[in-house]
A and B are shown apart, each in its own frame.
Chain A
Amino acid sequence: MYRYDQFDARFVAGRVAQFSDQIERRISGELSEDQFRPLRLMNGLYLQLHAYMLRVAVPYGTMNSAQLRKLAHIARTYDRGYGHFTTRQNIQFNWPRLDDVPQILSELAEVEMHAIQTSGNCIRNVTTDQFAGAAADEIIDPRPVAEIIRQWSSLHPEFTFLPRKFKIAITGAAHDRAAIKFHDIGLMARRNEAGEIGWTVHVGGGMGRTPMVARKLNSFVPHADLLAYLESILRVYNRYGRRDNKYKARIKILVREEGLASFREQVESEFSEVRGGVLSLPEDELNRIKTYFAPPEFKDSDARFDLAALKVSDPEFARFVVHNTHQHARPGYTSVTISLKPVGGVPGDATDTQMDIVADLVERFSFDELRVSHEQNLVLPHVAIGDVRSVYEALCAAGLGEANVGQITDMIVCPGLDYCALANARSIPVAQEISKRFGSAKRQEEIGDLKIKISGCINACGHHHGGHIGILGVEKRGTELYQITVGGDASENAAIGNILGRGITGEEVPDAIERLVEVYLGARSGADESFLNTLSRLGETPFREALYGND
């Protein structure tokens, strides 16, 4: 993975000093809260319902064991013993004291971590496929380019006060595991007719109160031109994005109001000016950055899982293998997903002890590499197949052995009204009830892969728009209600779910989900027809009727 050179280290140390000074000036009263807010947000510091929240960047979701141990230490020392992994592949600490933050940042800097641009109206942490550099279906490892984008966007002086936040996601595989079409810019690797690898650029996707699937802006931008192309998009957005209404300030609104063709024309015009300039990336330099991400020294092996045998001899482990491993590009290896969705637990949370245990596994079994997925799980990307049993046992001992990845209890859930100042309704308790309802392995196996996503308000941090079943918390006359959507999809076939009808209470949600699942199970053509396919074949009516009857 990328290692800081002296330059990076100095940059991050400078940033810690700068923000520490800003905190001091806030505490002394020199900075008003209005003046401090954008500064602290730019450094990942939110003011939540009960306390400050610090969001630490995990660039493109990649960490090593030392970094994870440091996060565990911070959770233990400065927080209440846990952290929350987010859909942006970051980690949030919910209870830091303002005057501890400089110390936390200093300690993070010791392991090449920071909180730069994890919030604020700037370019946020670049996210990617959690299996980058490991997946069998990958065209290219996107992380070298993600790292280049991260550096280019770090404290970019022109793009620090954009109309609104700006999120970039990048994937090197044709199967999108990074929800790139729900990002302001989504980059997907593509091989052109000449066999060269470049990037298809999508723009204007997003969740929130105006969900949109990104549109294709350019089908092939070569590596060399990518930064120039991104700078062109950002400049057009910075200059012309709306600033009169924060709900209409994302680039998706600009693209919609200008029209894709006109927006593309502006970007191309800008691109024609900056192309070939200082942002050009020479091929041999890209190769040099790639060496940071060189594959570890895999040992060739023909080890394979004998699932048929395992299902008989070791059914629990077999289930883990089926759901929690992902095909690796190298024979004899697999990527293991550690579910942070224990049945009845808080999705995405990990305790300091669990982080320490995972750090040990990262070091022993995964070439010191860990990933955070946008679905709020952790991933050991490079595990020898022969080691998976040991990993599984260690995970089970730590309460992390849930074999539910991709299943109905593997939900994306925002922190909701339990933490968040913006939320209208609680998310976590609803998720916990659904999780308990569908917790049995047998039940989940029967249902198959089904993605439920829950947001506590219209800002959609829980990605409900992209859930096969989405749950949105709303507030009506002081009551927390939940609207149910169906048909969302965050994959390369991105789609936004439709609301089925009026909101229902939290207590009613598990029954409602149960009824939707029953409609699906009863109507699907076979176990291999997905929920989305059944929905698409039948339409929404039977699902709506299952919730509301015929009225």
Chain B
Amino acid sequence: MEMIEHSSHTDAARRAGGESWLAAFGIMALNSMFGQKDASGVLRMAIEDLLVDDLAVVSSFGADSAVLLHMVCAINPDLPVLFLQTGRHFDQTLAYVKTLSDRLGLTNVQTLVPDSDQLARFDPDADLWKSDPDSCCHIRKTEPLDKALSGFGGWVTGRKRHQTQERGVLSHFELTDDKRIKVNPLAYWDEEDVAAYKKVHNLPEHPLFGSGFTSIGCAPCTSAVTTGEGARAGRWRGLNKTECGIHFDVNKRISPAMAKAELTLFRDGRFVADPWGKWVEGPAPSEARYAHVPLAQFVANRTAYLAGPHPLGLLVGAGDNVEEVASDLSRFSSIAIEFRTFTDGRGYSSARLLVERMGYKGELRAVGDVLVDQIPLMRRCGINAFVVGHAATRKALEQGVQSAIDVFMQPVGVDEIPLGTRCFLRRANHSNS
């Protein structure tokens, strides 16, 4: 299996591998691949495809941790599970680490401890939490975790949108400032989902859970919640603090949710998230997915690409002959026509041949130098989606660009030929005038 091959890689090589996947997919593509509640799917993708042998789970062994760890075990019980032993945990939590590991069969729980020099210097009396909880968290959680994560391309967290307002924009996959992928399989789960999962799988509860501890961190900064309070209300109670810091990006905010990134694909009258990533050399044909394979590349490996299990696109370059893939069109979920410069009109012929002659009916997108003045021409030739970077063109599309010319002088396209596109068959129209 491929994992063996990957395991011999150095850290750097593994990181590079992860980045090439990223480049191939794009975080947005990843985020549109799974149903919101499909936590296992997300996890499996991360463990088996995206960050093979390059991924760790970070768990607090708190109130909800059993769910994520149970899912991990079902996929790979050897996955590293990082536990931050801050030195200030409840005894019940430490006991629960053992209970849960044994029960689930986790084989690779790694305990991370704070740097003793740092503790001696900044928190010799173990009361820093009272005067400066942020620094306390930093020394006992953030720094040890950062150090451990340097060996991984990404990590799995149990965070959920419902937990805090800031987490309300979480997506399944995030790209952090240090170019790691943060995987949040449970992002869209709510309390009921968690409770139901625990029940179905008969998972042991954290000993304090029954006593009103719905979110459990270090003992000094965790309290029980009462009815009506949020699950994390007992954390840093009374302080304007909701996160320990390990989930902060350098800008002190949650990693930007990719939904906020600029959308460049215009389709069906609006800009939408683009699940398709840029094609990169490398992945075997059977692994290719959500990328537009250059036509020549496809033709050279036709059998392998046809057999691949994943959604595939085709990139038609300006000089490509679409006839070469005439019998393969059903394989493609999207075809991209490249306009290297807007003055190169070969793509118009390619588009018409695909749509009118070969009967292609799927997404046909223009990529490259796509400008507003050419969009009406592209549409007439059958192009139905546009990847647009040009600011004025984006603006025009958002405002619903309409060509000033709404009658055509020649029949183009597969729709019913509009009356009047040929002067010699304009009689009906003419008789009205």
Binding site for B on A (CB under 8 A): 5-7, 10-11, 14-15, 17-18, 21-22, 25, 30-31, 35, 38-39, 121, 147-148, 151-162, 235, 238-239, 243, 273, 278-279, 281-282, 285-286, 288-289
Contacts and interface: CB of A to CB of B under 8 A. Distances in A.
Interface of B: 318, 321, 342-346, 348-350, 352, 357, 371, 373-374, 376-378, 380-381, 392, 403-412, 417, 420, 422-427, 429-430, 432-433
A473 B317 CA distance: 41
Contacts of A10: 406-407
Contacts of A286: 424
Contacts of A162: 345
A5 B422 CA distance: 12
A152 B410 contact: yes
B374 to A, nearest CB: 8
A300 to B, nearest CB: 32
A151 B423 contact: yes
Contacts of A38: 342-343
Given A14-B405, A17-B404, A238-B346, A160 B426 contact: no
Nearest to B381: A157
Contacts of B342: 35, 38, 161
Contact of A151 (B392, B410, B427): B410
A154 B409 contact: yes
Q: Which of A6, A25, A282 has the most CB of B within 10 A?
A: A6
Contacts of B409: 11, 151-156
A156 B343 CA distance: 14
Contacts of B408: 11, 155
Contact of B348 (A14, A155, A158, A288): A158
Contacts of B407: 7, 10-11, 14
Contacts of B392: 25, 30-31
B405 A18 contact: yes
Contacts of A288: 424, 427
Given A158-B412, A162-B345, A282-B424, 13 more contacts: A5-B429, A14-B405, A31-B392, A35-B373, A148-B422, A152-B410, A156-B409, A158-B381, A160-B377, A161-B374, A235-B349, A243-B346, A278-B411
A157 B426 contact: no
A285 B430 CA distance: 13
Contacts of B376: 157
A183 B146 CA distance: 72
Nearest to A284: B424
Nearest to A25: B392
Nearest to A239: B349
A18 B318 CA distance: 27
A265 to B, nearest CB: 14
A285 B405 contact: no
B429 to A, nearest CB: 6
Nearest to B430: A5
Q: Which of B342, B417, B423, B425 has the most CB of A within 10 A?
A: B423
A289 B426 CA distance: 10
B377 A157 contact: yes
Given A14-B407, A157-B377, A160-B377, A289 B424 contact: yes
**Interface SS of A by simple majority:** helix
Given A22-B373, A238-B346, A243-B344, A158 B352 contact: yes
Contacts of A153: 409-410
Nearest to A152: B410
A405 to B, nearest CB: 33
A158 B425 CA distance: 21
28 contacts: A7-B420, A7-B433, A10-B407, A14-B406, A15-B404, A18-B404, A18-B405, A21-B404, A25-B392, A31-B392, A35-B371, A39-B373, A121-B343, A148-B422, A151-B422, A154-B409, A154-B410, A157-B412, A161-B343, A162-B345, A238-B345, A238-B349, A243-B318, A273-B357, A279-B410, A285-B427, A288-B424, A288-B427
A105 B348 CA distance: 28
Given A121-B343, A148-B424, A238 B404 contact: no
Contacts of A11: 405, 407-409
Contacts of A273: 357
B99 to A, nearest CB: 66
Contacts of A282: 424-425
B405 A15 contact: yes
Nearest to B419: A7
Contact of B425 (A22, A156, A285): A285
A157 B424 CA distance: 19
Contacts of A121: 343, 345
Contacts of A285: 424-425, 427
Contacts of B345: 121, 158-162, 238
A468 to B, nearest CB: 38
B411 A14 contact: no
A286 B381 CA distance: 27
Contacts of A148: 422-424
A269 to B, nearest CB: 10
B407 to A, nearest CB: 5
Given A162-B345, A239-B346, A147 B423 contact: yes
Given A15-B405, A278-B411, A157 B427 contact: no
A173 B418 CA distance: 35
B404 to A, nearest CB: 4
A18 B380 CA distance: 17
A11 B422 CA distance: 13
A235 B349 CA distance: 7
Contacts of A151: 409-410, 422-423
A316 to B, nearest CB: 45
Q: Which 4 A-B pairs have the closest CB atoms?
A: A161-B345, A14-B405, A285-B424, A18-B404
A514 to B, nearest CB: 47
Contacts of B433: 5-7
A10 B420 CA distance: 11
A231 to B, nearest CB: 9
Contacts of A243: 318, 344, 346
A371 to B, nearest CB: 21
A152 B407 CA distance: 12
Contacts of B411: 278-279
Contact of B426 (A7, A22, A235): A7
A17 B402 CA distance: 12
Nearest to A158: B348
A21 to B, nearest CB: 7
Nearest to B347: A161
A38 B405 CA distance: 18
A6 B410 contact: no
A238 B381 CA distance: 14
Q: Which of A5, A18, A121, A285 has the most CB of B within 10 A?
A: A5
Contact of A7 (B318, B350, B429): B429
